[in-house]
Amino acid sequence: MNASAKERVVVIDALRVFASIQMVQGHTIDALLDPRFAQGRAYEVWSYLRGLTSVAFLFAAGLAFYLTTLADIDAHLSKPGAVRHRYTRALLLIGIGYALHLPRPFFIADILQCIGLSLLFLETLVVLCRRSWLVIVGALAASIGMLTLAPASSHWIPSGTFAFVTAYFTQRGGSIFPLTPWAAYLMLGVACGAFVLREANATSRQKTAVRLSVATAAAFLMASATKVLDRHDSPAMNVSFSLQKLALVVLLTAILAWSTVFVARLPRWLEALAGETLSIYVVHLLVLYGAGVGLTYLVGHVLMPFTAISAALTMCAISAAAGLGSWKLKQYRAQKKVDSVTGVR
């Protein structure tokens, strides 16, 4: 979801840019680092923090959905084609997610499918309920369902006619980000947006930062309170662990909010990158994992730590250039469309 410059909220853009850097460097180091160095305390900390990247993207998507849709739901529903555009965008994400895993795509649910299906669900709630508070209640209910179902669904094995459906609820068929529990982060982002950005774009930087600090404390309290529910043999599937990761991401968002409290807007190129996370995602994955031609095939897991970090920085630069190029192309096409309507040559 892209917003125009005047509609952008600094903390959401900052979170997206930070998560994009984490995503690219994380994938690059993981794809090229010699396994001999994939151990030790430093690596474990890096690996854990890297695991928060997807949570950050999903949480940011939830915040953005509240801001662009629920903050003024009547305006959204009244805009010609707005609902159709949201459905088209969600289906596009799902389609790209499947395409990236060819030739065996239908048993793998990745981050794009998780976001796409979550947006389809939310937009359907918008169309049916037509009230922001009802959509928020629905998002909260869905998040509870995704979190509590995760321990049980993690044991499911995709098989038979509906294996592709089961793949959305378990990692046992190769899925990386099944809806349980990952969709919960996006849904909780929507609810958090309703609290943090209740005045939408008019919300002051100070209020945003203070409310995110309150939300951080609430998230850590929920993570602590739900430890009594921990029963799964894999800690990652427990509700408290999922809420702990969410709490850390909300904390990061609060830190970014306080750091940008006096920033009216980010530099234009950072705003552009924040709106081009999809192109950055696709480009760096193709460079790293493109079948037969990606770096993981041509180079492999052979790099020393310093060399792998250098490669990650280079990949960040390449991905940023691709994102800015995509943004420039969209700007050019938009201007050409305006010129064609106004008759400018």
Taking each helix axis from N to C terminus, what angle separates 53-68 and 179-196, rounded to the nearest 10 degrees?
A: 50
Phi first, then psi: give them for residue 158, nearest 5 degrees.
Answer: -60, 125
Q: Is the pLDDT of residue 197 over 90?
A: yes
Average pLDDT of every residue of the chain: 91
61, 20 in Cβ contact below 8 A? no
Alpha helices in the chain (DSSP H): 10-32, 41-50, 53-68, 73-78, 82-99, 111-129, 132-153, 163-166, 179-196, 205-225, 239-259, 268-274, 277-289, 295-298, 305-342
Q: pLDDT tens digits, residue range 104-115?
A: 666 788 999 999
Its sign, for the CA torsion 319, 321, 322, 328, is positive
Name 313's Cβ contacts closer than 8 Å, sequence gap at least 6.
25
Whole-prediction pTM? 0.93
> Residue 125: its pLDDT value, please?
97
Q: Rounded to an integer, what distance in angstroms lies between the CA atom of residue 119 and that of residue 16?
A: 17
| 160 compared with 151, residue with greater pLDDT | 151
Check whether 121 has a pLDDT greater than 50.
Answer: yes
CA atoms within 13 A on the CB side of 202: 4
What tens digit of pLDDT does each residue of 280-317 get? 999 999 999 987 788 999 999 999 999 999 999 999 99
